[in-house]
Amino acid sequence: MSANLLERMRRTTRKPPQPVKKVFYVCSFGGCGSKMLCEYLSKFGTVKHVHSRNPPTRLTHIGINEWFTTIPVNERDLPNYYVIYIYRNPIKAILSRFTQSEHLLHIQTNPTITLNQVISEKKDLYGIENFFDNYTVPQARNYKIYCVKYEDLFQKMAEFNRVFNINCSPGNYPQERTRDKPFTNDIVTLYQVYANLIERMKNMPFIQIV
């Protein structure tokens, strides 16, 4: 058998190149629909749920505690990684998750802080605005952060999919789950505490890349 024929046979039996698998890091301070978004994105790549308060300067892998580790992602793999920070009105997030001390520990916040303390002192003792700033304020990093506004997500899923090059029919889009809380004096106080942050969030575009 000639060498040319052998070479042609090798070419025809080679496997076609496999599509690059996306890796999504879905980051949040909790109560922002991050698990819902993880479930949706898991259909299109590998997903890591992240609750680290401080994103690193150079992208690293995620540990079992859902925090950034010190192990860097290989530079050549960075184009396949998408770091998504999803946020929402902090009042709804607080009422959903922040009464749980284990959640506060998970987002690297003092787990002894109570909702009553926040209300009585009228201060952001949870450090939610600090968490928000850590992801949304531009810094020198070797990767991008896609800041996504939860309140706009369900009406703008087509735009979200375009940004992340996802092919999905509307029938498979995630659905919003709403649970309205009674409007109490405590909630009025929380709106006073987080008025500045809520206004900043409202003024953000649906997706902002930093």
- Can you give the pLDDT at residue 16? 47
pLDDT tens-digit map of 21-80: 899 999 999 999 999 999 999 999 999 999 999 999 999 999 999 999 999 999 999 999
pTM over 0.85: yes
- Can you give the pLDDT at residue 64? 92
Pairing of strands 145-149, 207-209: antiparallel
Radius of gyration of the chain measured on its C-alpha atoms: 21
Give Cα separations from 189 to 27, 38, 93, 201, 203 (angstroms).
Answer: 27, 32, 15, 18, 22
How far is the C-alpha of 130 from the C-alpha of 134, rounded, in Å?
A: 6
How far is the C-alpha of 202 from the C-alpha of 198, rounded, in Å?
A: 6
Between residues 11 and 166, which one has the greater pLDDT? 166
- Domain residue spans in the chain? 20-209
